[in-house]
Structure 1
């Protein structure tokens, strides 16, 4: 598909988990001649959640948009959608991976997000989870995220400041170049 004729739609869906949801959503995209360009899906508790970006011609995207309310009713999903554009390449920035493990405490995500936001560093993707530590059963927290570090930022200083920030909060952390 030529870039000038390519249009994009982001949709998110939430509902009770059951087998076949992804198949039905993928079928709706395929039947309307849309391509799934990017997606993330997870089951949390008993709930299914997905965010997906589809691409297609203007009329293909419009057709999918018009079918989403019926697809949502059929699958028992709350679906939201919004037109978007493809994100331009992040010139002048370097992607880095950040991984943090610690005893679970309220506020960890906020503090980490604030550390990067205060330095003008955008968080591109993030996943968090909690789990019971082996042997002790203590509630643990794990975070993995991708950040885009602007070229103007001195990476060695950022890494040192982030590690000091984590040490002050008893967070075990790694920040390293992103590996696809």
Structure 2
């Protein structure tokens, strides 16, 4: 089975998901994984599709035409799938703080410096009830290598969060 990752972004409007899903379905391909969201008035799609080589070639062509028609930025990349992550332990990280620049960079740097892979990351900024203070929240999934001691990682993360005025949690996924 061959795989491809598709990325599109364009002005949000009804029918984008239907148009993409219809082409995928008509080519008898399978949507394995996807993320779709509106960010700042733009609708973004990130989708993993699997199937035969020829149908995937047709998909690239048809989605290219659809992207032109709907004025979408479009990227199509064939992939072999995820690398083997055997032995790595999945953990969920959550961080909440009063919003300020640099939170994602600091948190990503903390985990990157320990060779911990981030494989999913979601952020949102919302207003606190009553005060209206912007509150930033981050939830991400990471893969901890087997050579890292979880107790030491938890302690390091606790002190890291304390040093940066972050409320953080690290728990098994």
What SS does the aligned partner of 1:106 have?
A: coil
The number of residue pairs the alignment matches comes to 173
1:65-116 Cα shifts (integer Å, max 9, x gaps): 1212111022221111111012144101000000000001101110000000
Partner residue of 2:168? 173
Find the partner of 2:108 among 93, 110, 113.
113
CA distance in 1, matches of 2:109, 2:81: 27
Find the partner of 2:55 among 49, 53, 60.
60
CA distance in 2, matches of 1:86, 1:110: 27
CA distance in 2, matches of 1:17, 1:133: 27
Partner residue of 1:138? 133
Stretches of 4+ aligned residues off by more than 3 angstroms? none
Partner residue of 1:102? 97
Unmatched segments (≥5 aa) in structure 2: none
- The alignment status of 1:8 with 2:3, answered yes or no, reads yes
1:100-147 Cα shifts (integer Å, max 9, x gaps): 000011011100000000000010000111111111111110000000
CA distance in 2, matches of 1:86, 1:14: 22
Partner residue of 1:70? 65
How well do the aligned residues superpose, as a CA RMSD in angstroms? Answer: 0.9
> Normalization by structure 1: what TM-score?
0.93
CA distance in 2, matches of 1:157, 1:8: 38
Partner residue of 1:161? 156
Is 52-61 or 65-74 further displaced after alignment?
65-74
What SS does the aligned partner of 2:37 have?
A: strand
What SS does the aligned partner of 1:83 have?
A: strand
Unmatched segments (≥5 aa) in structure 1: 1-5
CA distance in 2, matches of 1:82, 1:166: 37
